[in-house]
Amino acid sequence: MSSTISNIFKITFLFIGAIVGFLATYLSALGVYYKEPYFSVGETLLYASIAMISLYFLIRSWRKR
């Protein structure tokens, strides 16, 4: 039972991390396009890497089932 709840929280956290990371990357790309950047290049890379790492662990946890 505890394992199931832990897995649900882990998957939810990773899913939220992926969505937030991709949203921040998208906003940064829009800012570059309109020449008013929302984030610096370093922040954009950070958010993109958070999204990719979250997606990697999310897919890996789904494949274990």
Say how many CA atoms lie within 13 Å of 47 toward its Cβ.
19
What's the confidence (pLDDT) of residue 45?
A: 80
What's the confidence (pLDDT) of residue 4?
A: 75
CA 32, CA 60: separation in Å to the nearest integer? 32
Tens-level pLDDT at each residue, the chain (65 residues): 567 777 778 888 888 888 888 887 787 777 766 777 666 777 778 878 888 888 888 888 777 66
For the chain, the structural domain boundaries read: 2-64
What's the confidence (pLDDT) of residue 2?
A: 66
Q: Crossing angle of helices 41-64/2-33, nearest 10°? A: 150
